[in-house]
Structure 1
Amino acid sequence: MGTTGTQLAAGAGLNLSLPQQLTVIVLCALTAFISHMALAVFNDGVRPFMLDFIHGRTTRSATTAVSFGLSAGFIFGLGAPMALSSGVLNPWLLFLPTDILGLLSPKKWLAPLLGAGWGAVVVFGLNGANEVAHDLPVDFLTAMQQMSTPILFLFTLFPVLAITKQFGRAWGAVAGVVELVLVVATMKLWPDMFAGALAMAVGVLMLIGLAVRRDLAQRKADRAAEAARGTTAADQDSAQPAEDDPMASLFSASATRLRRHLPLFMLLGAGVCLLAQMHIFGGGEATSFLIAKGHISEAAQVDFYRVFGFIPLIATTALASGAYGIAGFTLVYPIGYLMPNPVLAVVVGAAVFAIEVLALSYIGKVLGKLPSVRDSSEHLRNAITDSLHLAILFGSLMAANAMGAGLGILIVGGLYLLNEAMGRPVVRMAAAPAAVIVGGILLNVLYWLDLFTPVKG
Structure 2
Amino acid sequence: MSSTTLAAGGSLSFTLPQELTVIVLCALTAFISHLALAVFNDGVRPFMLDFIQGRSTRNATTAVSFGLSAGFIFGLGAPMALSTGVLNPWLVFLPTDILGIVSPKKWLAPLLGAAWGAVVVFALGGANSAAHKLPVDFLTAMQQMSTPILFLFALFPALAITKQFGRARGGLAAVIELVLVVMTMKLWPNMFAGALAMAVGVLMLIGFAVARDVKQRREERAAASAMQAAADPPDADDPMASLFSSSALRLRKHLPLFMLLGAGVCLLAQMHIFGGGEATSFLIAKGDYSGAAQVDFYRVFGFIPLIATTALASGAYAIAGFTLVYPIGYLLPNPYLAVICGALVFAGEVLTLSSIGRLLGRLPSVRDCSEHLRSAITDTLGLAILFGSLMAANTMGGGLGILIVGGLYLLNEVMGRVVVRMAAAPAAVIVGGIVLNVLYWLDLFTPVKS
Q: What interval of TM-score do these two structures reach, taking the shorter chain for normalisation? A: over 0.9
Task: Specify the code of the residue in structure 1 equivalent to 2:209.
Answer: A
Q: What per-residue deviation string (whole Å, max 9, x for no partner) do you get for residues 313-344 of structure 1? A: 00000000000000000000000001110000
Q: What per-residue deviation string (whole Å, max 9, x for no partner) do you get for residues 182-212 of structure 1? A: 0000000000000000000000000000000
Q: How does 1:25-64 map to 2 (within 5 A)?
A: 25-64=23-62
Does the CA contact (< 8 Å) of 2:195 and 2:295 recur in 1? yes
The CA deviation at 1:4 is 6.2
Does the CA contact (< 8 Å) of 2:4 and 2:146 recur in 1? no
Q: What per-residue deviation string (whole Å, max 9, x for no partner) do you get for residues 270-316 of structure 1? A: 00000000000000000000011111001000000000000000000
One of 143, 153, 158 as aligned partner of 2:151: 153
Q: Distance in 1 between matches of 2:232 and 2:48?
A: 34
One of 197, 200, 214 as aligned partner of 2:195: 197
Q: What per-residue deviation string (whole Å, max 9, x for no partner) do you get for residues 56-83 of structure 1? A: 0010011001000000000000000000
SS in 1 for 2:9: helix
What is the match of residue 418 of structure 1? 411
Q: How does 1:364-443 map to 2 (within 5 A)?
A: 364-443=357-436
Does the CA contact (< 8 Å) of 1:245 and 1:365 recur in 2? no
SS in 2 for 1:9: coil
What is the match of residue 86 of structure 2? 88
What is the match of residue 333 of structure 2? 340
Q: Distance in 1 between matches of 2:258 and 2:249?
A: 13
What is the match of residue 293 of structure 1? 286
Q: Distance in 1 between matches of 2:183 and 2:310?
A: 40
The CA deviation at 1:14 is 1.1
One of 224, 231, 236 as aligned partner of 2:226: 231
What is the match of residue 2 of structure 2? 2
The CA deviation at 1:10 is 3.1
SS in 2 for 1:395: helix
What is the match of residue 15 of structure 1? 13
What is the match of residue 241 of structure 1? 234
Task: Specify the code of the residue in structure 1 equivalent to 2:8.
Answer: A
Q: Distance in 1 between matches of 2:86 and 2:13?
A: 10
Q: What per-residue deviation string (whole Å, max 9, x for no partner) do you get for residues 243-282 of structure 1? A: 9966210100000000000000000000000000000000
Task: Specify the code of the residue in structure 2 equivalent to 1:144.
Answer: M
Q: Distance in 2 between matches of 1:204 and 1:123?
A: 36
What is the match of residue 162 of structure 2? 164
Sort the Cα spacing of 1:380 and 1:126 in 2 relative to 1 into closer, same or farther, 3 A: same
One of 109, 112, 120 as aligned partner of 1:111: 109
Task: Specify the code of the residue in structure 1 equivalent to 2:156.
Answer: F
Task: Specify the code of the residue in structure 2 equivalent to 1:392.
Answer: I
Sort the Cα spacing of 1:223 and 1:281 in 2 relative to 1 into closer, same or farther, 3 A: same
Does the CA contact (< 8 Å) of 1:36 and 1:103 recur in 2? yes
Q: How does 1:322-361 map to 2 (within 5 A)?
A: 322-361=315-354
Does the CA contact (< 8 Å) of 1:147 and 1:395 recur in 2? yes
Unaligned runs of 5+ in 2: none
The CA deviation at 1:94 is 0.2
Task: Specify the code of the residue in structure 2 equivalent to 1:142.
Answer: T
SS in 2 for 1:247: helix
Q: Distance in 2 between matches of 1:367 and 1:245?
A: 16
Q: Distance in 1 between matches of 2:268 and 2:403?
A: 39
Q: Distance in 1 between matches of 2:217 and 2:399?
A: 58
Does the CA contact (< 8 Å) of 1:140 and 1:399 recur in 2? yes
Unaligned runs of 5+ in 1: none
Q: Distance in 2 between matches of 1:382 and 1:219?
A: 26
Q: Distance in 2 between matches of 1:161 and 1:128?
A: 40
TM-score between the two structures when normalised by the length of structure 2: 0.98
Does the CA contact (< 8 Å) of 1:5 and 1:292 recur in 2? no
Q: Distance in 1 between matches of 2:164 and 2:234?
A: 29
The CA deviation at 1:3 is 3.8
Q: How does 1:92-103 map to 2 (within 5 A)?
A: 92-103=90-101
SS in 1 for 2:417: coil
Task: Specify the code of the residue in structure 1 equivalent to 2:152.
Answer: L
The CA deviation at 1:231 is 3.2
Does the CA contact (< 8 Å) of 2:262 and 2:320 recur in 1? yes
Q: Distance in 1 between matches of 2:54 and 2:237?
A: 30
The CA deviation at 1:241 is 2.3
Q: Distance in 2 between matches of 1:444 and 1:327?
A: 38
What is the match of residue 132 of structure 1? 130
TM-score between the two structures when normalised by the length of structure 1: 0.97
Does the CA contact (< 8 Å) of 2:5 and 2:143 recur in 1? no
The CA deviation at 1:361 is 0.3
Sort the Cα spacing of 1:245 and 1:223 in 2 relative to 1 into closer, same or farther, 3 A: farther
Does the CA contact (< 8 Å) of 1:151 and 1:286 recur in 2? yes
What is the match of residue 311 of structure 1? 304
What is the match of residue 173 of structure 1? 171
Task: Specify the code of the residue in structure 2 equivalent to 1:341.
Answer: N
Q: Distance in 1 between matches of 2:394 and 2:4?
A: 19
The number of aligned residues is 450
The CA deviation at 1:15 is 1.1
The CA deviation at 1:240 is 2.4
Does the CA contact (< 8 Å) of 1:5 and 1:294 recur in 2? no
Q: What per-residue deviation string (whole Å, max 9, x for no partner) do you get for residues 358-407 of structure 1? A: 00000000000000001100000000000000000000000000000000
Give the share of equivalent positions with the same residue, in percent: 82
CA RMSD of aligned residues (A): 1.3
